[in-house]
Chains A and B, each alone.
Chain A
Amino acid sequence: MLRKTVQIVTAVLTNSYYKGFLNGTIYKGKSKFFCVPGFNCYSCPGALGSCPIGAFQAVVNSAQYLISFYLLGFFLIVGTLLGRFVCGWLCPFGLFQEWIYKIPFKKIHLPHRYDFLKHSKYLFLLIFVFFIPAFISNDWGVGEPAFCKYICPAGTLESGIPLLYANESLRASAGALFNWKLAILLFVVVLSTKIYRFFCKYMCPLGAVYALFNKVSYYRIQVDRKICTECGNCINACKMDVIPYENPNSPECIRCGACKEACPAKALSMGFNIPIRKTNFKRF
């Protein structure tokens, strides 16, 4: 309940320029110097901050810069402090997928032997967020924000649909590319009804960045091995397919706390002041 409240409050606060939704425009204030931690398109009519993935591409696809120190610094600080806590608590698109998953369709739980597919999000990060924007450029040295342009379903949902709905001139310009992005969004929505947070697991480049920090972040989960009976309740509770008592700080863990709540022995603790102990990993 607390997590859901934080998710909703974060989504509303970071998208509270309501005039944009009415007029088909976007916020132009200086708060957009700063990035929000979650996946939130800066062209969303209500957005008050910048999307870190969009911002990273905007810098590396410009002719002046090959890499963005500003965004690398941002990722290091937010990642080290929070890791994928951002995904579980602060991401509006994650919240959207959780709502979609409540639609009562038959759910799919892929066996652990398919966990390697989750590495695809790192490919999206490397190829579409870095390599194409940085190295494939036009005659003026300007690259393309490839993830925003060809993939990002959050941009279509949060920006494309509301802006085209409210702004007639933009609506007149929509063509094949918009249809492609709409198809990607539909693909993600359909799979999100069957697979919990499909986009987060397999496609999200921002989740891929924060996943790299989960093992070292200040916010973490700890298992008390003296109490844990390895009953498996935490495994059944985890919708991200983590085995919490073996790998509590797995890159896939979004810190939702379901494992902690499910543990009858109260062997799991989660927070900032958790002592760091070595965990005897049996498998990943």
Chain B
Amino acid sequence: MKHRVFQFFLIFTGGVLLIAGIQRQEAFTVLTKAINICLECIGIG
């Protein structure tokens, strides 16, 4: 039972953080990075 409560707590916390991140516009930062060629990733920048 303790495990199940802990699992639920982790999922709930994850959901809260995810929504907080979206409200802080972090998802736009991710999108902006992801739709432009990442020069560091390919070994140029």
Contacts from A to B (Cβ < 8 Å): 25-30, 32-33, 35, 41-43, 47, 49-50, 54-55, 58-59, 62, 64-65, 68-77, 79-81, 144-145, 148-149, 152, 155-156, 159-160, 163-164, 170, 173-175, 177-182, 213, 216-218, 276
Knowing A174-B44, A276-B3 are in contact, say whether A69-B20 is a contact too (CB < 8 A). Answer: yes
Number of chain B residues close to chain A: CB under 8 A: 35
Cα separation A33 to B41 with both chains bound (whole Å) = 18
Q: Is the CB of B40 within 8 A of A145?
A: yes
Cα separation A155 to B33 with both chains bound (whole Å) = 14
Cα separation A181 to B45 with both chains bound (whole Å) = 12
Q: Is the CB of A74 within 8 A of B14?
A: yes
Residues in A with CB closer than 8 Å to B33 are 42, 50, 54-55, 58
Cα separation A180 to B11 with both chains bound (whole Å) = 39
- Chain B CB count within 10 A is highest, among A77, A173, A216, for A77
Closest-by-CB residue of A relative to B13 is: A76
Q: How far is the CB of A241 from chain B (nearest CB, A)?
A: 26
Cα separation A216 to B6 with both chains bound (whole Å) = 8
Which of B7, B36, B40 is A149 in contact with, Cβ under 8 Å?
B40
Residues in B with CB closer than 8 Å to A178 are 42-44
Q: How far is the CB of B5 from chain A (nearest CB, A)?
A: 11
Contacts from B to A (Cβ < 8 Å): 3-4, 6-7, 10-11, 13-22, 24, 26-31, 33-38, 40-45
Closest-by-CB residue of A relative to B28 is: A33
Knowing A155-B42, A156-B42, A159-B38 are in contact, say whether A69-B10 is a contact too (CB < 8 A). Answer: no
The 7 closest A-B pairs by CB, nearest first: A70-B21, A76-B14, A73-B18, A73-B17, A178-B43, A69-B21, A149-B40
Closest-by-CB residue of B relative to A44 is: B41
Q: How far is the CB of A119 from chain B (nearest CB, A)?
A: 23
Q: How far is the CB of A20 from chain B (nearest CB, A)?
A: 10
Q: Is the CB of A54 within 8 A of B41?
A: yes
Q: Is the CB of A58 within 8 A of B18?
A: no
Q: How far is the CB of A221 from chain B (nearest CB, A)?
A: 14
Cα separation A181 to B33 with both chains bound (whole Å) = 20
Closest-by-CB residue of A relative to B32 is: A58
Cα separation A73 to B38 with both chains bound (whole Å) = 24
Q: Give 30 A-B contacts (CB < 8 Å), ordered by A residue.
A: A28-B35, A33-B28, A42-B38, A47-B34, A50-B30, A50-B34, A54-B34, A58-B30, A59-B21, A59-B29, A65-B24, A68-B26, A69-B24, A70-B30, A71-B21, A74-B18, A76-B17, A77-B11, A145-B41, A152-B41, A155-B38, A156-B43, A159-B41, A163-B37, A163-B42, A177-B44, A179-B43, A182-B43, A213-B10, A276-B4
